[in-house]
Chains A and B, each alone.
Chain A
Amino acid sequence: RKEVEQDPGPFNVPEGATVAFNCTYSNSASQSFFWYRQDCRKEPKLLMSVYSSGNEDGRFTAQLNRASQYISLLIRDSKLSDSATYLCVVNGPGGYQKVTFGTGTKLQVIP
């Protein structure tokens, strides 16, 4: 089983739609979880951290399910500018600072 798994997509959604991505992780000892956004041929940028209680930032909501070892990202009212690849990132194994990236889920928002 991969350390971090994501559905590569692409997810093609119309503007204004709500879309959700899941990501599963294998290391039950992982403590930190993040969603990054990566535009084509650019570096990843932190979108949001994922807390145990879940967190929301505007149109974006992240949830953590430790029992099932997955995290989710929900995007409401999709904008064209949301088109990107969303990377799930989990810390460990191998130390607190090391993180493992998922392969990313590609989102394409269509006018």
Chain B
Amino acid sequence: GAVVSQHPSRVICKSGTSVKIECRSLDFQATTMFWYRQFPKKSLMLMATSNEGSKATYEQGVEKDKFLINHASLTLSTLTVTSAHPEDSSFYICSATPGTSADTQYFGPGTRLTVL
């Protein structure tokens, strides 16, 4: 099956620093990648949708200047949490889809961010 990797799997940083999370589709080209955030005991919340070569589409309430998304190639999307604060601590998960079909979203293993 299709494999999506995320790096790092876990990161601890100080408040005010920026953190970059990478999402890679390893054996397919991802026309679209999604970034989700999941707080403890809550569901996944879509943050943004990114298509290769174009600007990401952010969900309502998600600050585009704080969560920078770059989808520079068909196999890589990055999420940068700028000036992180403790309330940004969460589980960030990306997913990738090779086409237009919603049922082929493949999820990365997630990145657990802790901001001190």
Q: Which of B44, B103, B112 contacts A101 (CB 8 A)?
A: B44
Chain A residues within 8 Å of B34, by CB: 98
CB of A97 to closest CB in B, whole Å = 5
Q: Are B105 and A101 touching (Cβ within 8 A)?
A: no
A41 to B90, CA, bound (A): 11
Q: Are B108 and A43 touching (Cβ within 8 A)?
A: yes
Chain B residues within 8 Å of A87, by CB: 43-44
Which chain A residues have a beta carbon within 8 Å of chain B's beta carbons?
32, 34, 41-46, 49, 87, 91, 95-104
Which chain B residues have a beta carbon within 8 Å of chain A's beta carbons?
32, 34, 36, 42-46, 49, 91, 93, 97, 100, 102-103, 105, 107-110, 112
Q: Which 8 A-B pairs have the closest CB atoms?
A: A43-B107, A103-B43, A91-B102, A101-B44, A101-B43, A32-B102, A43-B110, A49-B103
